[in-house]
């Protein structure tokens, strides 16, 4: 089989910065709770005292038994997939004793209510929005308007509320909240090891909170305008321990991210759950930074130069290939029942699937026929046909393996419903679209089948996440239009001229930011694009009854670098910038027909 073979075919910023910033947040809160009347200060008593009346700003806190069951749904369907903020036993004990802050409980409810069928939540969308709004008010006031010492609860709440906003397609306010979470975490020195006098589970909870923010940030860098908020070398905490050690609060020494990347003798099976995902996400962010050419002063060497950044990244990826060898034949292992203890290979778990998919996504972005040619167009190098041939074949292989992994995992009833997997499927799908035009018959058949599998995978998420619907729409359209770009997989061609519309379409399929917004950024844009603002709370059709069997959590987030180690005045400027330049109109996609077309 030769995959290459093909035919020729205005906010006023004057005055006191902190008071202005507070005023802006108050106005946003008012807009976000426009469906509720009146205003009321959130009480500082424990959660059992949170009763309200029909005219109150705050929603009614559920009775204790409903609250407990709803929190259980949060842990079962969302927590740890992949974001992990809490030691479950400790959280539940503190919930029962009323020792958790109101804003944190409400932030959890904002996410958890969608999974509940309890009649208490008559209007789940509106109730969840009200809990999230009340949680943000108190979280913000505690950070900016309180003399109390900050704790990790505010970081957990701000991050949860950012994730809630992402699920509601309120990306602009999500950026702001994650920026606040990152800055507060840095101010609290959460990037260094927690106090040793704390119980191990409490230490690990703080580490996992930081790693969850980090993971969200790194996954969001897969685009042209999304630099990371974190510098890896500044994080001095160890990687997450095993879930069993976390659950039992049994101390476990784990290497740091820097130590893992420095040495080659660590094995993925020695780093359970969130740890391998963190490590591969770090490399994915490097790949995205190189692929989308965000560093204009970066590596100018030809990618076939053994000293180039391209080859350095390939060497790091090769290291991960040896790490995954411990699983043997991964596809066979996924499809088979869990391995017996006597089996020589390490068993596949759900926590194995995501880092393995991210590993193949790294290659799909690094070697994408469109993206690598776009990078080479900016140089004067004559491209060796052998380099293009090897790169294009490798890209085809990794796209096939990525899609096969998700298909087999779904067939074996692993949970693979995280939204970032929709993005990975879309990138792989764009590659399948190109190779369906290969002259090699087997390559064409494999590509068409893989493309259908990608669309099936993404379609399964549209009932949960709006972004998956947009990805389906873009991918099915490119399945029709890709014939115009089919020369990209011909290694004999030094240059492949494309129309501007085709360039924009290909970028849209590879750029996580563009895929998660309604209005795409043009490839000719050189500055920030003004996009219309959206309502903070949009009217939506009632949510259908959720089938939770296929649900696996949520990985989402488009994070511009709007916050840094700055003062409050700069934060206000950045806040205004986010509102002005990074909003988007969200359109109702529920009526879109995503029928397969070829």
**Considering the domain boundaries, does residue 582 fall inside one?**
no
Spatial distance between the Cα atoms of 72 and 91, rounded to a whole number of angstroms: 11
Residues 6+ positions from 72 with CB-CB distance below 8 Å: none
Distances in whole angstroms, Cα of residue 345 to Cα of each of 118, 128, 328, 349: 43, 44, 6, 12
What's the rounded mean pLDDT across residues 308-313? Answer: 92
> 15 pLDDT exceeds 50?
no
What's the rounded mean pLDDT across residues 118-136? Answer: 93
What is the predicted pLDDT for the residue at 217? 87
What is the predicted pLDDT for the residue at 271? 55
Q: 172, 582 in Cβ contact below 8 A? A: yes
**Considering the domain boundaries, does residue 317 fall inside one?**
no
**Considering the domain boundaries, does residue 131 fall inside one?**
yes
**Considering the domain boundaries, does residue 463 fall inside one?**
no
Spatial distance between the Cα atoms of 80 and 89, rounded to a whole number of angstroms: 14
Distances in whole angstroms, Cα of residue 404 to Cα of each of 72, 137, 142, 379, 465: 33, 45, 47, 35, 22
As a whole number of Å, the CA-based R_g of the chain is: 24
24-64 pLDDT tens trace: 444 434 433 333 333 333 333 343 333 333 345 688 899 99
What's the first-to-final CA gap in the chain, in angstroms? 23
What's the rounded mean pLDDT across residues 5-19? Answer: 39
429-440 pLDDT tens trace: 999 999 999 989
Q: Which of 17-26, 96-105, 192-201, 398-407 shows the lowest per-residue confidence on average (mean pLDDT)?
A: 17-26
> 108 pLDDT exceeds 90?
yes
Which residue would you say has higher pLDDT here, 543 or 286? Answer: 286
User: Is 237 buried (19+), middle (13-18) or exposed (0-12) by CB count in 10 A?
Assistant: buried
Which residue would you say has higher pLDDT here, 294 or 2? Answer: 294
What is the predicted pLDDT for the residue at 196? 93
What is the predicted pLDDT for the residue at 481? 95
Q: Which of 43-47, 367-371, 487-491, 528-532 shows the lowest per-residue confidence on average (mean pLDDT)?
A: 528-532
Closest CA to 561 of 223, 312, 330, 282: 223
What's the rounded mean pLDDT across residues 191-216? Answer: 95
What is the predicted pLDDT for the residue at 357? 96
Mean pLDDT of the chain: 77
User: Which residue range(s) make up the domain with 152?
Assistant: 62-228
What φ, ψ does residue 118 adopt, rounded to 5°?
A: -65, 135
Using pLDDT thresholds of 50, 70 and 90, give the confidence band for residue 328.
confident
What is the predicted pLDDT for the residue at 330? 86
Give me the residues paired with residue 438 across strands. Answer: 6
Which residue would you say has higher pLDDT here, 53 or 482? Answer: 482
What's the rounded mean pLDDT across residues 475-481? Answer: 96
> 23 pLDDT exceeds 90?
no
Closest CA to 174 of 552, 568, 534, 565: 534
Q: Which of 16-25, 166-175, 206-215, 582-591 shows the lowest per-residue confidence on average (mean pLDDT)?
A: 582-591
User: Is 9 buried (19+), middle (13-18) or exposed (0-12) by CB count in 10 A?
Assistant: exposed
Query: Mutual orientation of helices 200-219 and 152-167 as an angle, nearest 10°?
Result: 40
SS (H, E, C) 536-583: CCCCCCCCCCCCHHHCCCCCCCCCCCCCCCCCHHHHHHHHHHHHHHCC
Could you tell me if residue 98 is left (phi over 0), alpha (psi between -120 and 50 degrees) or otherwise beta?
Answer: left
Closest CA to 10 of 533, 538, 558: 533
Q: How many degrees, rounded to 5, is the angle at CA 467 between CA 408 and CA 562?
A: 120
**Considering the domain boundaries, does residue 312 fall inside one?**
no
**Considering the domain boundaries, does residue 19 fall inside one?**
no
Cα 32 from chain centroid (whole Å):
24
Using pLDDT thresholds of 50, 70 and 90, give the confidence band for residue 380.
confident
What is the predicted pLDDT for the residue at 267? 55
Q: 183, 144 in Cβ contact below 8 A? A: no
What is the predicted pLDDT for the residue at 164? 87
What is the predicted pLDDT for the residue at 435? 97
Quick one: DSSP state of residue 149? Answer: P
What is the predicted pLDDT for the residue at 136? 96
Distances in whole angstroms, Cα of residue 221 to Cα of each of 216, 313, 346: 9, 16, 31
User: Which H helix or E strand runs over 180?
Assistant: helix 171-187
Q: What percent of the chain is predicted at pLDDT more than 90? A: 46
Which residue would you say has higher pLDDT here, 378 or 395? Answer: 395
> 553 pLDDT exceeds 50?
no
Spatial distance between the Cα atoms of 193 and 254, rounded to a whole number of angstroms: 12
Report pTM.
0.77
**Considering the domain boundaries, does residue 160 fall inside one?**
yes
What is the predicted pLDDT for the residue at 80? 83
Which residue would you say has higher pLDDT here, 357 or 5? Answer: 357
Spatial distance between the Cα atoms of 181 and 19, rounded to a whole number of angstroms: 20
What's the rounded mean pLDDT across residues 129-135? Answer: 95
Spatial distance between the Cα atoms of 387 and 28, rounded to a whole number of angstroms: 53
> 169 pLDDT exceeds 90?
no
Using pLDDT thresholds of 50, 70 and 90, give the confidence band for residue 293.
confident
Q: 99, 136 in Cβ contact below 8 A? A: no
559-569 pLDDT tens trace: 333 333 333 34
What is the predicted pLDDT for the residue at 340? 42
68-91 pLDDT tens trace: 999 999 998 888 878 899 999 999
**Considering the domain boundaries, does residue 335 fall inside one?**
no
> 554 pLDDT exceeds 90?
no
What's the rounded mean pLDDT across residues 448-456? Answer: 97
For the chain, what is the domain count?
A: 1
Q: Beta-carbon neighbour count of residue 458 at 10 Å?
A: 28
What is the predicted pLDDT for the residue at 57? 64
Using pLDDT thresholds of 50, 70 and 90, give the confidence band for residue 555.
very low
């Amino acid at each position: 089989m030769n995959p290459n073979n093909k035919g020729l075919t205005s906010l006023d910023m004057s005055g006191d910065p902190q008071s202005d910033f507070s005023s802006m947040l108050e106005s946003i809160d008012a807009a976000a709770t426009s469906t509720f009347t009146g205003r009321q200060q959130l009480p500082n008593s424990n959660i059992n005292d949170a009763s309200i009346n029909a005219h109150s700003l705050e929603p009614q806190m559920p009775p204790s038994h409903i609250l407990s069951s709803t929190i259980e749904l949060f842990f079962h369907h969302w927590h740890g997939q992949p974001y992990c903020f809490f030691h479950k036993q400790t959280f539940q004990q503190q919930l029962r004793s009323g020792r958790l802050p109101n804003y944190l409980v409400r932030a959890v409810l904002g996410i958890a209510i969608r999974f509940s069928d309890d009649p208490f939540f008559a209007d789940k969308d509106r109730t969840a929005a009200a809990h999230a709004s009340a949680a943000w008010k108190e979280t913000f006031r505690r950070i900016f308007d309180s003399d109390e010492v900050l704790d990790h609860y505010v970081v957990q709440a701000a991050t949860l509320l950012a994730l809630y906003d992402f699920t509601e397609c309120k990306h602009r306010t999500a950026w702001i909240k994650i920026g606040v979470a990152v800055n507060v975490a840095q101010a609290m020195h959460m990037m260094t090891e927690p106090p040793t006098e704390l119980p191990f589970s409490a230490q690990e909870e703080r580490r996992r909170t930081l790693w969850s923010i980090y993971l969200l940030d790194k996954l969001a860098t897969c685009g042209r305008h999304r630099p990371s908020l974190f510098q890896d070398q500044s994080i001095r905490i160890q990687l997450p321990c095993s879930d069993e050690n976390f659950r039992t609060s049994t101390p476990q020494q784990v290497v740091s991210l820097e130590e893992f990347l420095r040495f080659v003798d660590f094995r993925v099976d020695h780093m359970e759950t969130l740890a391998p995902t963190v490590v591969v996400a770090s490399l994915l962010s490097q790949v995205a930074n190189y692929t989308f050419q965000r560093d204009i002063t970066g590596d100018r060497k030809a990618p076939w130069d053994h000293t180039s950044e391209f080859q350095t990244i390939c060497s790091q990826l090769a290291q991960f290939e040896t790490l995954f060898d411990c699983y043997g034949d991964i596809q066979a292992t996924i499809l088979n029942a869990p391995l017996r203890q006597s089996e020589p290979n390490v068993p596949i778990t759900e926590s194995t699937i995501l880092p393995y998919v991210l590993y193949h996504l790294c290659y799909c972005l690094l070697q994408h026929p469109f993206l690598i040619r776009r990078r080479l167009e900016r140089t004067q190098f004559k491209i060796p046909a052998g380099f293009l041939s090897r790169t294009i074949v490798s890209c085809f292989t990794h796209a096939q393996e990525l899609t096969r992994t998700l298909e087999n995992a779904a067939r074996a009833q692993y949970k693979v419903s995280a939204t970032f997997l929709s993005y990975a499927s879309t990138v792989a799908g764009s590659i399948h679209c190109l190779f369906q035009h290969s002259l090699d018959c087997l390559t064409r058949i494999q590509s068409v089948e893989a493309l259908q599998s990608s669309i099936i995978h993404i379609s399964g998420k549209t009932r949960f996440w709006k972004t998956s619907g947009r990805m389906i729409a873009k991918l099915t359209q490119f399945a029709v239009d890709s014939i115009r770009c089919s020369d990209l997989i011909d290694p004999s061609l030094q240059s492949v001229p494309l129309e501007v519309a085709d360039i924009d379409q290909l970028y849209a399929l590879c750029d996580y930011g563009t895929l998660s917004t309604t209005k795409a950024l043009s490839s000719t844009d050189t500055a920030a694009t003004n996009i219309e603002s959206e309502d903070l709370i949009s009217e939506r059709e009632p949510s259908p009854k959720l089938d939770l069997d296929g649900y696996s959590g949520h990985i989402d987030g488009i994070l511009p670098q709007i916050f840094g180690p700055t003062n409050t005045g700069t934060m206000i400027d950045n806040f205004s910038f986010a509102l002005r330049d990074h909003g988007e109109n969200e359109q109702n996609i529920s009526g879109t027909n995503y029928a397969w077309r070829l």
